[in-house]
Amino acid sequence: MKRLTAWVAGVCTAVLCAALTAALPHQAAAATLTEVTGFGANPGNLRMHVYAPDNRPARPAIVLAMHGCGGSGPGLYSGSEFASLADRYGFVVVYPSASKKGNCFDSWSAESHVRGGGSDPVSLMSMITYTLERFGGDAGRVFVTGTSAGGMETNIMLGNYPDVFKAGAVFMGVPHSCFANEADYIPSPGASDCASGRVSRTPQQWGDLVRAAYPGYTGARPRVQLWHGTNDTLVYYATLQQQIDQWTNVFGLSQTPTSTDTPQANWNRRRYADSTGTVKVEAYGIQGAGHSLPSSGMAAAAIQFFGLTDSGPTSTPTPPTGACRVTYTPSTWNNGFTAAVTIANTGPADVNGWTLAWAWPGNQRITNAWNATATQQGAQVTARNAPYNATVAAGAAVTFGFQATYSGTNTAPAQFALNGTACSPAA
């Protein structure tokens, strides 16, 4: 079977990552992705980058965000929505870069499975400690998230350091201590027993692995949000249930959800609440999705789960609601069309870095784009700025285009969101 070169969508090439890193300054600066050296004990030989938005409170929350195999911290910064969400809600994002097995975070070694054992988790904790001190962070609002290898490491950090993290969001992960050793950590479809969901344990046994990471710990546990695509052929969908079994057992909850719903099309959510109604575990099965999460809107859902949307910065975010307008102009032929999309910034402040998201009402599918990078998962589309048109000045506009296919009726999207904020469609 053909070996995959990466475990996560959005990974940049080695040349691009090197170019990004080379362009970064080595001293901390607000609103700039900044590399930090000398951040503390670093047995995992990781690199650290930080994004601290200009608009943040005196004691900001901290989010540790980890890439997948083959990726980098700068790659996740440029290929995800966490930085734009940080601008909106005023938290600081730590982007580590892994160095093992083609840039994968270590979730397979015995050292990584226990608190203070060494390897990558200890390096990651050094980054958290540094960031709390450097930016005066709120130690009661530290969170962790990651995709694929980063999602696996998210479960590791939640189990090893439950007293540090308030909550975590895991995209395409596996349970804590799922890998028996490095030999099973194989980034190829079906090759790994753990990643293929073939490790058979009861909820109690899965839970015991978390409890063994910090023996004797009796304090509060971080809440957990889990995401997985039903068509993931690299880290199989079966691992989602294993993670549910693990964390519900850790919380002493039933494996039967207390509620189920579909908050968006193809997002099937199960929630597991305690006797007070507090949701401790939340699991999303994304219908039809492969190994490609998070897609549009999912990072925002994670930040909302963390509670960071309720206590953002006091000044007006950019862009505020209603401060943008989208003009969508399609040109249709038999089973195909092109479209020009103009984003007008009608607000008082510049938009620095933009992501435009929408959902198709039909079966439209984008085949290529210009002046933007467009990705599609099911009906959800995300278009991100090119390097040369990232800034949309107040009162100005930017236009990009794409080509797509369809069958039936080519109905225009009903609404758009710019950097997660609803945008008014032009009449």
The CA–CA distances, whole Å, from 229 to 156, 236, 240 equal 21, 8, 9
Q: Which amino acid is at 327?
A: T
The three-state (H, E, C) secondary structure of 36-57, written as one string? ECCCCCCCCCCEEEEECCCCCC
Handedness of CA 34, 122, 9, 72 (dihedral sign): positive
Q: How many CA atoms lie within 13 A of 51 on its CB side?
A: 25
> Which 3 state secondary structure label does DSSP give 273?
strand
Contacting residues for 121 by C-beta, under 8 A, at least 6 apart? 44, 106, 112, 115, 153, 156, 157, 160, 161
**Which of 71, 222, 48 is closest to 131 using CA atoms?**
48
Catalytic residues: 148
Instruction: Provide DSSP, 348-409.
Output: SS-EES-EEEEE-SSS-EEEEEESEEEEEETTEEEEEE-GGG-EE-TT-EEEEEEEEE-SS-
Q: Is 321 exposed, middle or buried (0-12, 13-18, 19+ CB in 10 A)?
A: exposed
Check if the beta carbon of residue 24 is closer than 8 Å to that of residue 35.
yes
Q: What are phi and psi of 180, to 5 degrees?
A: -70, -30
Which segments of 259-381 does DSSP mark as H helices, in order? 298-306
DSSP one-letter code for 251: T
Q: How, if at all, do strands 416-418 and 397-405 pair?
A: unpaired
Q: Can the peptide bond before residue 294 be classed as cis, meaning omega within 30 degrees of 0?
A: yes
Q: State how far the Cα of 334 lies from the Cα of 332, in Å rounded to an integer.
A: 7
As a 3-state breakdown, the chain gives helix, strand, coil percent values, each rounded to 5, of 25, 30, 50
Residue 385 has φ and ψ, to the nearest 5°, of -60, 155
